[in-house]
Amino acid sequence: MMQLHDMNRPPKIVILAAITLLSGCANLQPGPVQAGAGPSPAATQVAPLVSLTPYLDTLTKMAPGDPVRQQAELAATLASAQQSRSADDTLRYALALGSAGHPSSNPVEAKRLISELLAGTHDLEPIELAFANAYLREFDARVALYADLARLREDSEQRLKSLDASAESRADTLAAENKYLRRALAEAERKLEAVAEMERSLLEPGAESGAAEPPP
């Protein structure tokens, strides 16, 4: 049984993606300033660090274990995406929709939403783009896996149908052979009964008519 603290823990792929993306941000730190050089205008304006917390929160709430919690988060992210039409809300809804382990999971639609989002005009930061691309690959892999499973299921059903037809044919053959054996057995029993009746008639007193009488 899944422990309660495991249910509230983000999936491993989320943790790995977050670590990879955040470690990449370390390379964005400004380099050493040369002596005598004044700060450039770009250096004085540091872009705010975009947090992945909203996306991680959504993925945590969509973790398996509580269907009511999952459905509530899915509905909330859908409402936000429809109301704001923003890229980040659309991405959150796609992540919720594509998450595995809930009845409404649809990685095909989630993949389409993220693909259209990345192909169009958006205001996602590089770390958000990397996060979206990581899940786009994950959803693409799941879609391919589901397609393989569907083909295997279809092949299995076809084989079962073939086996059923073969078994039905063998059953018909066995029924015919059984019918023949029953008739042969009945005929053998009839002949055996006739022989037994003949033997009984020979053993009855006076059955041997015309037999020579013993001498006086």
For 71-109, the pLDDT digits (tens) are 999 999 999 999 999 999 999 999 999 999 999 999 999
For 154-193, the pLDDT digits (tens) are 888 888 887 877 777 778 788 888 888 888 888 888 887 7
Long-range contacts at 187-193 (CB < 8 A, ≥ 24 apart): none
Question: How remote is the C-alpha of 68 from its chain's centroid?
Answer: 22
Q: How is residue 57 written in tokens?
A: 């929160």
Helix (H, G, I), strand (E, B) or coil at 30: coil
> Cβ–Cβ contacts within 10 Å for residue 155, how many?
10
138's CB contacts (< 8 A; 6+ apart) are 13, 98
DSSP one-letter code for 86: -
Q: Please say whether the beta carbons of 81 and 103 come within 8 A.
A: no
Q: Please say whether the beta carbons of 54 and 96 come within 8 A.
A: no
The verdict on pTM exceeding 0.85 is no
Is the predicted pLDDT of residue 211 greater than 50, yes or no? no
Per-residue pLDDT band for 206 (boundaries 50, 70, 90) equals: low
Rounded mean pLDDT of 46-71?
A: 86
For 14-54, the pLDDT digits (tens) are 545 554 444 444 444 444 444 444 444 444 444 455 689 99
42 versus 198: the higher-pLDDT residue is 198
Check residue 34 and give its pLDDT: 45
Helix (H, G, I), strand (E, B) or coil at 146: helix
Least confident of 15-29, 54-68, 108-122, 145-159: 15-29
Check residue 167 and give its pLDDT: 77
Give how far Cα 16 sits from Cα of 7, 29, 45, 65, 195, Å.
Answer: 17, 22, 30, 21, 91
Residue 65: left (phi > 0), alpha (psi -120 to 50), or beta? left
Q: What percent of the chain has pLDDT over 70?
A: 68
The alpha-carbon radius of gyration of the chain (Å, integer) is 41
Check residue 50 and give its pLDDT: 67
For 3-12, the pLDDT digits (tens) are 433 444 445 5
Per-residue pLDDT band for 131 (boundaries 50, 70, 90) equals: very high
